[in-house]
Copies of this chain bind each other. A is one copy, B any other.
Amino acid sequence: MSGGSERRGAGEGTGGQADRRVRADAQRNMDALLRTALAVFATSGVDAPVREIAERAGVGVGTVYRHFPQRSDLIAAVFRREIDACADAASLLAAEYGPFDALAQWMLRYVDFVSAKRGLAAALHSGDPAYEALPAYFDQRLRPALQGLFDAASAAGAIRTGAKPNELLRAVASLCTAAHDVGPDYARSMIGLLLDGLRYGAAGSA
């Protein structure tokens, strides 16, 4: 449910609470680094110099390379974090809103995610091995998230059943990339149509 894959070595004999593997400052650096990188990538693009990110995060470049041996590893880590945040938003929204609204809100959240990550998406096709596992991770985290919202909404009778989450994710993603050429808000209005189409009472046959 929470963020995800913190590395814990397997096979620990020394049980107990003094099990913290990373020093507090290291953890703090790591967090600052990822947060700063996200912000810098958003403003300057993914080609922003590592030095600039390190400086703004208040760490030395060496620290960046300690955590992320390659530039692309940092980019991939930021991307994973955003996937996590988007997936986690599903349960938060499900707790706050009714079944249909939670679904609708999450779709908008997903649109923001995809739109903001266009630069990264381009990097995905670069062949860099650092990005290899990302598509699978994307699926692994986002599909169940949407599936949960779907199940809740159709159990409540708010939408008709049978919609495939991964198809919808892909469709929205391609709408968003097309939207960049057309104009803003285009994607959002298309999502509105999609949601109306899912809703019970709409004339849906094909």
Hey, which bits of chain A sit against chain B, CB under 8 A? 118, 122, 125-126
Contacts and interface: CB of A to CB of B under 8 A. Distances in A.
Contacts of A126: 122
A128 to B, nearest CB: 11
A122 B126 CA distance: 8
Copy number in this complex? 2
A25 B118 CA distance: 43
4 contacts: A118-B125, A122-B122, A122-B125, A122-B126
A204 to B, nearest CB: 20
Interface centre among A118, A125, A126 (most CB of B within 10 A): A125
Contacts of A125: 118, 122
A191 to B, nearest CB: 22
A147 B122 CA distance: 32
Contacts of A118: 125
Nearest to A125: B122
A126 B120 CA distance: 11
A51 to B, nearest CB: 20
A205 to B, nearest CB: 16
Contacts of A122: 122, 125-126
A107 B126 CA distance: 26
A125 B178 CA distance: 11
Nearest to A135: B181
